[in-house]
Amino acid sequence: MSTVSARLHQMNKKADDLLWSAFAVGYDQAWAYYDDDKLVECIAECRDLLYHAARMPRYIRIATLMLLCLVVRDKTDFDEARAEARKLITQPLVVT
C-alpha cells in the first residue's frame, strides 16, 4: 500500500470511528430515556437518529429501530420499524 493510500485509509478509519461515536452517543441517550421511562423523549431521539439513517452505521440503525419497536404505541409505527429492521438484518452486508 502506498503512503498516500495508507493515509487515506487511516483518514477513512478515523472518519468512520467519529461517525460511529456520534451515533452511539445518540443511541445511548435514547436508551437512557427508555431506562428513565421517558418514552416520548426516547421516541424523539430514535427518530432524530433515523433521520440521518443514510450515514448511520448499519448495526446502530438496526438497534435504534428495535428500540423504537419497544416504545411506540401505534401498531403502524411498530410494523414499519420492525419491517425496516428485518430488511436490514436480512440484507447481505456489502464490504467496500
Question: What does the pLDDT read at residue 57?
Answer: 82
Query: Does the pLDDT value for residue 81 go beyond 80?
Result: yes
Question: What does the pLDDT read at residue 22?
Answer: 81
Domain boundaries, the chain: 3-90
- Listing DSSP states for 6-64 in one string gives HHHHHHHHHHHHHHHHHHHHHHHHHHHHHHTT-HHHHHHHHHHHHHTTTTS-HHHHHHH
pLDDT 10s digits, 19-65: 778 888 899 999 999 999 999 999 999 999 999 877 788 888 999 99
Query: Does the pLDDT value for residue 96 go beyond 80?
Result: no
- Listing DSSP states for 6-19 in one string gives HHHHHHHHHHHHHH
Query: Does the pLDDT value for residue 18 go beyond 80?
Result: no
